[in-house]
Amino acid sequence: MKYCPECGTKLVMKRNGIDGMVPYCPHCQQFRFIKFSSAISAIIFNPQRDKVLLLQQYGNPHYILLSGYINPGENAKEALKREITEETKLPIAKYEYNDNAYFAGHDVLIHNYAVLADSDNVQANNEIDKYNWIPVNQVIDTIMPNSLAQSFAKEWFNKKHLI
């Protein structure tokens, strides 16, 4: 962000307490914090807890986790439930927060949850090209290499517990 989104004046960097140097509009005399999006992603386990749902989307041949943006006014848990319902219609037995990471490519902070589904009957919507229930011990090798999805899955399995 180089210019003030309100008045178009060129921003300068100015110290703002513990936040350090922050873009500042000398005309509006206000700090202009950089905005970014938030999203959720989900490691969805089948009821037997021995498989995880992986997806292929938007023509991409790599397997990823279910994910979606958090809408304005929504919290992460609400977005998690809405996205799972919209994309798969799977009922949720329970869920637990796992980890979060910033994806610089899309300027989005992603909150990852582990989710236990109450059924394995996926009714995929048209955002999903293909899906598979992958055995737990094959998930890390099947998921897109070096992706945030893979690092979330590693983090969860390193905790050595299933949901």
Binding site for Zn ion (CB under 5 A): 4, 6-7, 9, 25, 27-28
Which DSSP symbol is given to 63? B
Residues 6+ apart with CB under 8 A from 79: 39, 40, 68, 69, 70, 71
**CB 4 to Zn ion: min, Å:** 3
**CB 34 to Zn ion: min, Å:** 15
**CB 47 to Zn ion: min, Å:** 54
User: Given the complex with Zn ion, which of 1 and 93 has the nearer CB atom?
Assistant: 1
**CB 12 to Zn ion: min, Å:** 11
Q: What is the b/e burial string over 82-111, where b = at least 16 CB atoms within 10 angstroms of the residue's CB?
A: ebbeebbebebeebeebbbbebeeeebebb
Q: How many residues does the chain have?
A: 163
User: Given the complex with Zn ion, which of 25 and 84 has the nearer CB atom?
Assistant: 25
- Return the residue nearest Zn ion (CB atom): 4
User: Given the complex with Zn ion, which of 25 and 54 has the nearer CB atom?
Assistant: 25
